[in-house]
Amino acid sequence: MSKHINLTLKVWRQKNQKEKGHFETISAPDISTEMSFLEMLDVVNEKLTLAGKEPIAFDHDCREGICGMCGAVVNGRPHGALKGTTLCQLHMRHFNDGDTIAIEPFRAMAFKIIKDLTVDRSAFDKIIQAGGYISVNAGGAQDANALPVPQDKAELAMDAAQCIGCGACVAACPNAAAMLFVSAKVSQFALLPQGRPEAARRAIAMVREMDRQGFGNCTNEAECEAECPKQISITNIARLNREFFKASFGSAVK
């Protein structure tokens, strides 16, 4: 049987990057506990629109925890306090009647605010463009057994490939570092034979682009791992460091 709760939202409102933002208190009565967090925001926005007010801008797409588009800081935690979930997977049954919920955007110098809870995460795209790929000749598909991959390496690569690039790691890090994201993207290739030919160039290029985009330095605080909705391990950061140092001292890098 559906239960309904009454909430008070303190939402960050900001028209654009240049204007100052502020918290706005918005009443959210009669919210079904069966709703997801984003569905709750949909209901609030509908009421705001009907009242002639500006709806809350927030990112979303698949709403299945896959795309990495959704993301906001809920009561001080990226994606909310529930472990291993994205914002769209957080349901209102985890809140109580009468709760006050503070909602604000991911904060990092590299993530410029577009509006309200929406930030520009294209810095991640630029890091991927710098080296997060492999170069292969087009043609027919290779035989599945042409490049044997040990089971343990395949599983580690798949674990790293789960990263959806949502940016929670950056928002959680006190330095706004992107090391967990970059290390996951490097690891998924570094662990497989298909990724080895370009390994040195990839590690150098992606780390340099990460620095160029204005992300902070990793100081092993581990908040990134704690808040990652896909529970990416910080052991990937150690692997990235090894790949980077090997590339830095190797003759393949100019």
Residue 172: CB partners within 8 Å, gap ≥ 6? 77, 78, 223, 224, 226, 227
pLDDT reported for residue 139: 78
Give the SS3 label for residue 92.
helix
pLDDT confidence tier of residue 74, bands split at 50, 70 and 90: very high
Q: How far apart are CA 109 and CA 102, in angstroms?
A: 21
- Indicate the domain borders of the chain: 4-112, 122-135+148-249
The interaxial angle of helices 122-131 and 179-190, nearest 10 deg, is 30
pLDDT in tens, 164-196: 999 999 999 999 999 999 999 999 999 999 999
The closest alpha carbon to 195, from 184, 210, 209, 207, belongs to: 184
Higher-scoring residue by pLDDT: 44, 138: 44
- Other beta carbons less than 10 A from residue 13's beta carbon: 17
CB 71 within 8 A of CB 166: yes
Q: Is the pLDDT of residue 95 over 90?
A: yes
pLDDT reported for residue 253: 47
pLDDT reported for residue 254: 47
| Window from 5-9, 35-39, 94-98, 131-135 with minimum mean pLDDT | 131-135
Mean of all residue pLDDT scores within the chain: 94
pLDDT reported for residue 142: 72
Report the length, in residues, of the chain. Answer: 254
Q: Please tell me the pTM assigned to this model.
A: 0.93
Beta strands in 67-187 (DSSP E): 73-74, 77-78, 100-104, 112-115, 118-120
pLDDT in tens, 193-234: 999 999 999 999 999 999 999 999 999 999 999 999 999 999
pLDDT reported for residue 1: 61
Q: How far apart are CA 73 and CA 64, in angstroms?
A: 18
Domain at 122-135+148-249, CATH from 3.40.47.10, 1.10.3720.10, 1.10.1060.10, 3.40.50.880 = 1.10.1060.10
pLDDT confidence tier of residue 141, bands split at 50, 70 and 90: confident
CB 62 within 8 A of CB 40: no
DSSP 153-172: HHHHHHHHHT----SHHHHH
Q: How far apart are CA 73 and CA 156, in angstroms?
A: 29
Tell me how many helices (H) and strands (E) the chain has.
8, 7
For the record, the structure tokens of 122 come out as 């294209």
Amino acid residing at 24: E
Q: How far apart are CA 148 and CA 192, in angstroms?
A: 9
Q: How far apart are CA 146 and CA 142, in angstroms?
A: 7
CATH architecture of 4-112: Roll (3.10)
